[in-house]
Amino acid sequence: MNRFAIITILLYLFVFQTGFSQNDSLTIYNKYKPIADKIIQKAFSDSSAFNKLAYFCDVFGPRLSGSSNLVKALDWLKTELQNDGFENVKAEEVMVPHWVRGREYCRLLSPREANISLNSLGGSISTPPEGVTAPVIVVNDVKELDSLADKIKGKILLFNEPFINYGQAVQYRFYGAKWAAKYGAVASLIRSVSPLEHQNLHTGVMGYNDSIPKIPHAAITPEDASMLQRMQNLGITPIINIYSECKTLPDTMSHNIMGDITGSVYPNEIIAIGGHTDSWDLGTGAHDDASGVIAALQAGRILLDLGIKPKRTIRITGWVNEENGSRGGIAYRDKHKNEKHVLMLEQDSGIFPPESIRFTGPDSILKLLKYAEPLFKQIADIKVDIGGGGVDIGPMMKLGVPGISVGNEDNGKYFWYHHSNADTVDKINPHNFNKTIAAIALAIYIYSDFNFELPGNIK
Ligand SMILES: [Zn+2]
């Protein structure tokens, strides 16, 4: 076969498979420019999304799995979906863990008396009623812990690992109790997982290992962790008393909430978009992740308001229990794996200036999304790149469904607020919120409109 024939066949296959011509960038731009203009104009036109976010966070408060706050917030979300005109609005049952904090405190007893701020990490056991009183031994990392193995017994171990990045620091939050208990520590503490040193406490999930004794596990502020380290460096052994009442109650019933815009051409092909409705019990989970849930809700609402009919079904979803069990994402997969999903979108990285559309899926589709980049540039300096995903959409993505998220430029600030009392609505910039919503609405609309067979969990 000569070269010309091969090129002709390849071109034919490309056009046939994607429905776009050779000059795709211009084709996509021209095709979607009018609708992009409308979406952006609508998203930027008012503060209704921000007001919904404020309502969700300020009226219901923190939404830890098992809490009555979460029950009320989920009822509200379901009613909003119904009132907004979404179809098939549902609350699907999910059993979730139920951990509660209770009273807790920490006292420095020697070399002087002082209060130390402390918060138990999610899933920790309580102390005995009299608390735990013991000398503190400070280590910077696991290597140092191993080198001091014979000095740990009977002590309260403090991991004073400075924040380099989240992935590294969070290891101490999750595994710290079992690492410490292995050498006989009676309790373990971590330096709060955050780059910011503003006397702030950060909670988050931790784990035990059934073969190792369970000991209380909590976070203290970076300032107090540094102080205890300095005392040790001076040859002083601080003695502290820790008290906490936290406990794990039996699992309780909660719900994934969802509502659809039924596809006009391929109603049985689903694009599920959303975030997680639960949050930690500190702050009000504004960045993490009320913003993701409300952004998806508003993106759908914009399409409805503009009378835009996506070819495929768009499902607005609030997954539950991302923070301490990931049960919502797993339950969603178990319940819906027999419906064809062609895309999952999860927004769970807070609200900052959007800078990317992150996509995990076939290169051929990434290429088409890249052609749409000039449209996203109308919203902000957004590029299309690889890397979309999330805890809640992970189970469906493992079955072959592509994933997408809007990436942002947070300059490290997300972890200033993450899982702390400071994760509140005042930290959300309404303009960045509207930009994120516009990017979500445009991305899912373009994706839903592709007129070729999309990959998913079902062929
Ligand atoms: Zn989150």
Catalytic residue among 80, 104, 161, 322: 322
274 CA distance to ligand 1 middle (Å): 11
- 432: phi then psi, degrees, rounded to nearest 5: -65, -35
Ligand 1 midpoint to CA 146 (Å)? 32
- For the cut 60, the answer to whether the pLDDT of residue 21 exceeds it is no
Looking only at the bridges linking them, the beta strands covering 354-360 and 312-319 are unpaired
Distance 71 CA to ligand 1 centre (A): 18
d(CA 390, ligand 1 centre) in Å = 9
323 a catalytic residue:
no
Mean pLDDT for the chain overall: 95
Mean of pLDDT values over 432-458: 97
CA distance 81 to 300: 10
Q: Is the pLDDT assigned to residue 8 strictly greater than 80? A: no
173 pLDDT more than 90: yes
Question: Average pLDDT in the 280-294 region?
Answer: 98
pLDDT digits (tens, 9 = 90+) for 82-132: 999 999 999 999 999 999 999 999 999 999 999 999 999 999 999 999 999
SS3 content of the chain, % helix, strand, coil (to 5): 40, 25, 35
pLDDT at 147: 98
Whole-number Å distance, alpha carbon 160 to ligand 1 midpoint, is 24
Residue 25 pLDDT? 84
* Alpha helices (runs of H) in 142-286, residue ranges in sequence order: 142-147, 166-182, 222-233
- Whether residue 422 has pLDDT greater than 50: yes
Distance 293 CA to ligand 1 centre (A): 10
Pairing of strands 217-220, 118-120: antiparallel
Say how many Å lie between the CA of residue 30 and the centre of ligand 1: 36
Model pLDDT, residue 439: 98
Q: Which residue has the tokens 């909590």?
A: 218
As a three-state string, the secondary structure of 28-63 is: HHHHHHHHHHHHHHHHHCCCHHHHHHHHHHHHHCCC
- Ligand 1 centre to CA of 439 (Å) is 19
What percent of the chain is predicted at pLDDT more than 90?
94
Cβ atoms of 323 and 122 closer than 8 Å: yes
How far is the centre of ligand 1, averaged over its atoms, from the C-alpha of 292 (Å)?
A: 9
List pLDDT tens digits, range 330-374: 999 999 999 999 999 999 999 999 999 999 999 999 999 999 999
